[in-house]
Amino acid sequence: MLQSIKELYGKKLDAKDGLIGHVKDFYFDDKNWTIRYVVADTGAWLPARQVLISPHAFASFHRPGRLLSVNLTRKQIEDCPSIDSHKPVSRQYEEEYYKYFGWPYYWEGSGLWGMSGVPTVDVSQEPFVGELSSSCLPQPKRGDAHLRSAQAVNGYHIQASDRIIGHICDFLMDEQSWAICQLVVKTGNRFSGKEVQVSNSHVDRIGYDRSTVFVNETADAIEKSPEHELTPSGCLN
């Protein structure tokens, strides 16, 4: 089932032992269009700090209300490597983060999540700090992280093969793999245009310097794409 990312903004995050804040943003890998982290605004619990939560930690989506379950304790989240000193997100930070939780590196292996097509949800009951030996973990291949803010890319122009056709207003991701499958594009006027779904397979590249996503389809083909409709739960109808 496809889930609207926009509908998840502001949802409360519920750890094993209490609320930890709400969803502020998502970081996605622009090489294979997969959500790698939820950016949590921790509010008064951890003042002036944002934390990243991997899809590995999400046990399920709760449809009723505005709550997402996180399969971690507040202590685990509080003690995880801080993103504040690693801006933008670097591979070095990701290595520290994944070692802390003991999860497999998503950038190693042939699957979307390393050796698997979906993120695992198994995690220790206690923080991993000081408990993991580097010999017990796969040694990562150094490389640049290609993580982008979904909030930042939202609103980018859509450049078809012949002209600008609209702008991004949402993303649709697969609930199991967390892969972004569709871009929701508002065509025409920002106020009177319609919303259509465009597969990310049609994306040629993202021009971050121009705030533009280049699509290898004509404007007319995009206009004729399936219209975007969601159920009240934020899922594709």
Which residue ranges form the domains of the chain, and what is each CATH number?
2-147 (3.90.50.10), 151-223 (2.30.30.240)
* pLDDT digit string, tens, across residues 179-227: 999 999 999 776 667 999 999 999 999 999 999 999 999 999 999 999 9
The pLDDT score that the predictor gives to residue 1 is: 87
Q: Any idea what DSSP says for residue 202?
A: G
Two structure tokens written together for 30: 């622009």
**Nearest-angstrom CA–CA distance, 143 and 107:** 9
Whether 39 contacts 26, CB under 8 Å = yes
Residues present in the chain in total = 237
pLDDT band at 146 (very low <50, low <70, confident <90, very high): confident
The pLDDT score that the predictor gives to residue 133 is: 34
What global pTM score does this model have? 0.86
Compute the chain's Rg from CA coordinates: 18
* pLDDT digit string, tens, across residues 71-83: 999 999 999 988 7
**Nearest-angstrom CA–CA distance, 236 and 228:** 8
HSE-up (13 A, CA, CB side) for residue 52: 27
